[in-house]
Structure 1
Amino acid sequence: MKDPRSFLYETSTNGVATITLNRPERLNALTFEVYRELTDTFAALRDEPNVRVVVITGAGRAFCSGGDVHDIIGELFSRNMEGLLEFTRLTCELISNLRALPKPVIASLNGTTAGAGACIALASDIRIASEDAKIAFLFVKVGLSGADMGAAYFLPRVVGLAKATELLYTGDFISAAEAERIGLYNRVVPGEELEQTTNELAQRLAKGPAFALAKTKEMLNRELHLNLDAALESEAQAQAICMQHPDYREAYEAFVAKRTPRFE
Structure 2
Amino acid sequence: MSSYPSSAPRVEEWRHIRVIRDDGVVTVTLDRPEKLNALTFGAYADLRDLLAELTRERSARALVLAGEGRGFCSGGDVDEIIGATLAMDTAAILEFNRMTGQVVRALRECPFPVVAALHGAAAGAGAVLALAADFRVADPTARFAFLFTRVGLSGGDMGAAYLLPRVVGLGHATRLLMLGDAVRAPEAERIGLISELTEEGRADARAAELARR
TM-score, length-normalised on structure 1? 0.75
- 1:61 aligned partner: 70
Q: What percent identity do the matched residue pairs reach?
A: 50
- 2:159 aligned partner: 150
Displacement over 3 Å in runs of 4+: none
Q: CA RMSD in A?
A: 1.0
- 1:5 aligned partner: 15
- 2:131 aligned partner: 122
Query: Counterparts of 1:114-263 in structure 2 under 5 Å?
Result: 114-204=123-213
Match for residue 37 of structure 1 among 37, 46, 63:
46
Shift of 1:189: 1.0
Work out the CA distance in 1 between the residues paired with 2:95 and 2:202: 40
- Could you say what secondary structure the match of 1:29 adopts? coil
Work out the CA distance in 2 between the residues paired with 1:116 and 1:36: 14
The gaps in structure 2 that reach 5 residues or longer are 1-9
- 1:257 aligned partner: none
- 1:212 aligned partner: none
Shift of 1:81: 1.1
Higher helix share: 1
**Highest RCO, 1 vs 2 (Cα 8 Å, sep ≥ 6):** 2
Work out the CA distance in 2 between the residues paired with 1:38 and 1:193: 24
TM-score, length-normalised on structure 2? 0.92
- Contact 2:189–2:196 (Cα < 8 Å) also in 1: yes
Alpha-carbon displacement from aligned partner over 1:208-261 (angstroms, at most 9, x marks no partner):
xxxxxxxxxxxxxxxxxxxxxxxxxxxxxxxxxxxxxxxxxxxxxxxxxxxxxx
- Contact 2:66–2:204 (Cα < 8 Å) also in 1: no
Alpha-carbon displacement from aligned partner over 1:172-224 (angstroms, at most 9, x marks no partner):
101011011000100111222222211211111xxxxxxxxxxxxxxxxxxxx
- Could you say what secondary structure the match of 1:103 adopts? coil
Q: How many residues of Structure 1 are paired with residues of Structure 2 in the alignment?
A: 203
- 1:28 aligned partner: 37
Query: Counterparts of 1:93-104 in structure 2 under 5 Å?
Result: 93-104=102-113
- 1:91 aligned partner: 100
Shift of 1:48: 3.1
- Could you say what secondary structure the match of 1:144 adopts? coil
- Could you say what secondary structure the match of 2:131 adopts? helix
Work out the CA distance in 1 between the residues paired with 2:77 and 2:147: 14
Shift of 1:100: 1.6
Work out the CA distance in 1 between the residues paired with 2:32 and 2:109: 26
Greater radius of gyration (CA): 1
Shift of 1:97: 1.2
Alpha-carbon displacement from aligned partner over 1:100-127 (angstroms, at most 9, x marks no partner):
2100000011221000000011011110
Work out the CA distance in 2 between the residues paired with 1:146 and 1:170: 9
